[in-house]
Chains A and B, each alone.
Chain A
Amino acid sequence: MTLQTARLAVATSNKRTTVSRLRGWVYAAPTALFVIVLFVLPLILVFRMSASQWPLLAGDQGINLPDNYVNAVDNRFFWDSVRFTLKYTVLATILLITLGLGLAMLVQESSRWKGFLRTSFLVPSALGLASASLLFYVLYSPLAGPFAPIMNHFGWTFLGTPNAALASTLFLIVWRYAGFYMLLMLVGLQAIPSEIYEAARMDGASRWHTFRSITIPLLKPTLALTTILCVTGSLLAFEQFYILTKGGPDNSTITVVELIYSVAFQGQNDLGVAAAISVMVLAALVVINVVQLRAFRGSGEN
């Protein structure tokens, strides 16, 4: 009798897990279908391209491994673009994370004025990156922009020197994304129980001290997420430079994805080499993200 019940129980629980598994798959099926058909399959084709001689206009000419990878690394802008992309990523991440956090703390409490501030910081996020880049393209223009008289007077332009071009592009990115990161930070801040702050205040901790020893550690999950998002996004930066600087002046602002685009569509027209760089970028991003996840998880445990 008892044996029977036990067996029955085992049977039902087995049955329940199978059913739950199947149900899970039913619900996940559309996602799987989309991801496999529209992402995994094209990705496989990208891998194949990277291993084949594949001119843009002529199509597949057969396997030529590892020529494309060698050619990619030998490209005269390869290392420059890697260096510039890393530099841009570090700067953009630092700026966006600190500004996002700063703005979030600025508008944290709710009041009318702060609600207005929050909205003004967020509105630029509604624009597409391409529209935003076009907008700044006109804004920075020494002909049609509002700063044209000043620029003419000092003989200086927003996109004229490598450093100015980088700074101007960073400003565009901050303008477009700071509100979004502020929002993510706000969510993280909201999750910190106010009792902890209360306790710190009772203990007489200074503001800076509270920030360093309470806000930052408790915000770690949010910081991890935003950093990973920001690093991944910045390493793939393309549109802002494509529209604003075209890689100039003097080839100083070529990002890796821009290099991919120019190898594929501007001149060399070699999809094989472009795919090879894409594969390297993907591999690098996977490694970087795994390292970041480990680092955040590791420091979280300490």
Chain B
Amino acid sequence: MTTTTERPAVAPSRTAPTTRVGGVAMRTPFWVFSGALAVIFLFPLVWTSVSSVSPHPGTGQVDGWGFGNYATLAHYQAGIGQYLANSVFVSGLCVILTLLISTLGGYAFARFRFPGRNLLFMVTLAILMVPYASLLIPLYVLLNKVGLSNSLVGVALVLTMFQLPFSTFMMRISFESVPRELDEAALVDGCSSFSALWRVLLPAVRPGLITVGLFAFLAAWNDFFAPLILINDTNKMTLPLAVSNLRVQVQGVVDYGATEAGVVVLAVPCIVLFLLLQRHYVRGFMSGALKG
């Protein structure tokens, strides 16, 4: 709006016709600059992967290159397989629960008016505002009472709760961005509201579902604090907990090699999933067009 009022008297031609050579010359600084940025962002990951297989005194890989640090990790206590399985179980359950609850909830918030709707939504978002550490002791007490202490299901439930603000918000705007005519047409055709959701709306919000699922997985896979407090049994520990245990030896001395190997093992599944699903979740954000 202000542009029109402040229009300069003579419009200078900003976009001078560039020759091919000039274009390349103009773009070179851009390439250098953006390339440097990409290097900065990728360097820490590349360096960690490389140095996790390179020799360093005081680690599992003392001379020569090799997978000594990974061997340390693999043979820790119950063995890495057990911890991987536990992590997969917790993350999987958390993803399923998050998808289920936030789909139903997002649908409710986007399509229905019911008493307490705004209150429930605000309280859900308020989960973001409470320090994680403050809630865990009460949660521990609570899970103990319902017999879910020292159980991976309990951990998954807690992690799902912490995922709800983001996922409910995301699913709400995803449903809102689907034209109402779509489900109304389905209802007129005699579908119940549930089958309208299942058959018509779910395919339309698929990018949103992928985004929510991916973020739930990332959060659950990497979480350290909930399993630390809620799990007592060594055989039920998740991977981040095992890595953290391995890191520190006698008198608090850190095994850098095992730490690097642990970071790599933790990061690889996340990065692979992230890259595989990249197109979808970028679309998930786009389709919501985040209305604030």
A interface residue numbers (CB < 8 A to B)? 17, 20-32, 34-35, 37-43, 45-46, 49, 103, 106-107, 113, 116-117, 119-131, 134-139, 141, 143-144, 146, 175, 178-179, 183-184, 186-188, 190-191, 199-201, 203-207, 209-210, 213-214, 221-222, 224-225, 232-233, 236, 238, 257, 260-261, 264, 271, 274-275, 278, 281-282, 285-286, 289, 296
Residues of A with C-beta under 8 A to B2: 213
Bound complex: CA A121 to CA B38 (Å): 7
Closest to A257 in B: B131
A128–B274 touching, CB < 8 Å: no
The answer to whether A221 and B135 touch (CB under 8 A), given A42-B142, A126-B218, A127-B270, is no
B42–A123 touching, CB < 8 Å: yes
Select which of B105, B223, B286 is within 8 A of A187 by beta carbon.
B286
Residues of B with C-beta under 8 A to A184: 285, 290
A42–B135 touching, CB < 8 Å: yes
Select which of A120, A129, A200, A260 is within 8 A of B131 by beta carbon.
A260
Bound complex: CA A130 to CA B221 (Å): 11
Select which of A22, A146, A221 is within 8 A of B291 by beta carbon.
A221
Specify the main secondary structure of chain B where it touches its partner. helix
Select which of B3, B105, B113 is within 8 A of A213 by beta carbon.
B3
A31–B124 touching, CB < 8 Å: yes
The answer to whether A38 and B44 touch (CB under 8 A), given A128-B221, A238-B131, A278-B134, is no
B274–A126 touching, CB < 8 Å: yes
A117–B193 touching, CB < 8 Å: no
Residues of B with C-beta under 8 A to A271: 137
In the assembled complex, how far is the CB of residue A155 from the closest CB belonging to chain B, in whole angstroms?
22
In the assembled complex, how far is the CB of residue B237 from the closest CB belonging to chain A, in whole angstroms?
15
Taking the complex as formed, is B147 at the interface, i.e. its CB lies under 8 A from any CB of chain A?
no
The answer to whether A175 and B4 touch (CB under 8 A), given A38-B158, A238-B133, is no
B134–A130 touching, CB < 8 Å: no
Closest to A204 in B: B11
B138–A46 touching, CB < 8 Å: yes
The answer to whether A39 and B113 touch (CB under 8 A), given A27-B104, A34-B101, A46-B134, is no
A-B contact count (CB 8 A): 271
Residues of B with C-beta under 8 A to A183: 282, 285
B interface residue numbers (CB < 8 A to A)? 1-4, 6-8, 11-15, 31, 34, 37-38, 40-42, 44-45, 47-48, 51, 56, 100-102, 104-105, 107-109, 111-115, 117, 120, 123-124, 126-135, 137-139, 141-142, 157-158, 160-161, 164, 168, 193, 218-219, 221-224, 240, 243, 247, 256, 259-260, 262-263, 266-267, 270-271, 273-275, 278, 282, 285-286, 288-292
Bound complex: CA A31 to CA B164 (Å): 8
Residues of B with C-beta under 8 A to A107: 34
Q: List 11 A-B contacts (CB under 8 A).
A: A24-B117, A28-B114, A39-B130, A126-B271, A135-B45, A204-B13, A222-B290, A232-B128, A257-B132, A278-B131, A278-B134
Select which of A41, A188, A264 is within 8 A of B133 by beta carbon.
A264
A134–B259 touching, CB < 8 Å: yes
Residue of A25, A26, A131, A135 with most partner-chain B CB within 10 A:
A131
B38–A126 touching, CB < 8 Å: no
Bound complex: CA A46 to CA B124 (Å): 17
A131–B266 touching, CB < 8 Å: yes
Residues of A with C-beta under 8 A to B126: 39, 282, 286
A43–B48 touching, CB < 8 Å: no
Select which of B112, B127, B282 is within 8 A of A27 by beta carbon.
B112
